[in-house]
Amino acid sequence: MTPTTVVNERLHQTFNSLPELQDYRQEKNTSPTPLNPLNPLKTLNRTKHKWLTKWQSTIDTPKTRELSLNKPTPFNGKQFKSIKFLQECILYMGINKDVYDTEPKRIVFMLSFMQEGNAVVWKQQFVQNKLNLDTGDIDLPTYKEFIDKFQKAFKPEEEDIDALDKLKML
C-alpha cells in the first residue's frame, strides 16, 4: 500500500466519521432549498484534495540535503597543506555524493575553498582561462584533469613529504 493510498483512506475515514456530515447525509431535505446551497461534502472534498496534492508533492519530490559536517578548511596555497585539503574535499563530497553528483559541482566546490594566498591567485587564473567572456559560459575540464592540475600546481616539496611520512610513523 502506497503512502498516498494510506493517507487517502485515513482522510476518507476521518471526514466520513464527522457527526455534522453524518447528520447532513441522513437529513431529508424537507426545508426550503436556499438560493445558493452549500454542499459541505464538496467543500471538504476540495479541501481534502488540496491538502493531498500539497502532501503528495512533498513526497514525490524528495530533496537531497547536504549532511552538515565540517567543511574542508579553506586552502591558502601552501603546498604542505594541499594533500590535507584534497583529502578533506574528497571525503566531504564523497559523503554528500547525492549533492555533488556532477564533475562541475565537485570542481566548483573545491574552487570555492581556495580563498587565500597562492590558492586564490591560481583559482583566478584557472577560471579566467576557462571562462568565455562572450557567452558567459565556463568550459571546465573533467574532475580528474582538474585534480591533476591542482596536484601539479600545489605538489608538496620532497622535504614536506618526508616530514609528513615521519609524522605518520609516530
> In this predicted model, what pLDDT tens digit does every residue of 15-31 receive, in sequence order?
566 555 555 555 555 55
The amino acid that residue 20 corresponds to is E
Question: Would you give the end-to-end CA distance of the chain in angstroms?
Answer: 58
Per-residue pLDDT of the chain (170 residues; tens, 9 = 90+): 666 666 567 656 665 665 555 555 555 555 555 555 556 566 556 665 565 565 555 554 556 788 888 999 999 999 999 999 999 999 999 999 999 999 999 999 999 999 999 999 999 999 999 988 888 888 999 999 999 999 999 998 775 556 666 667 76
- Ordered by start, the domain boundaries in the chain are 3-60, 79-169
- The strand pairing partners of 33, in sequence order, are none
Question: Cβ atoms within 10 A of the Cβ of 82, count?
Answer: 19
Q: Which of 89, 91, 95, 109 is nearest to 67 (CA)?
A: 95
Q: Is this model's pTM higher than 0.75 or not? A: no
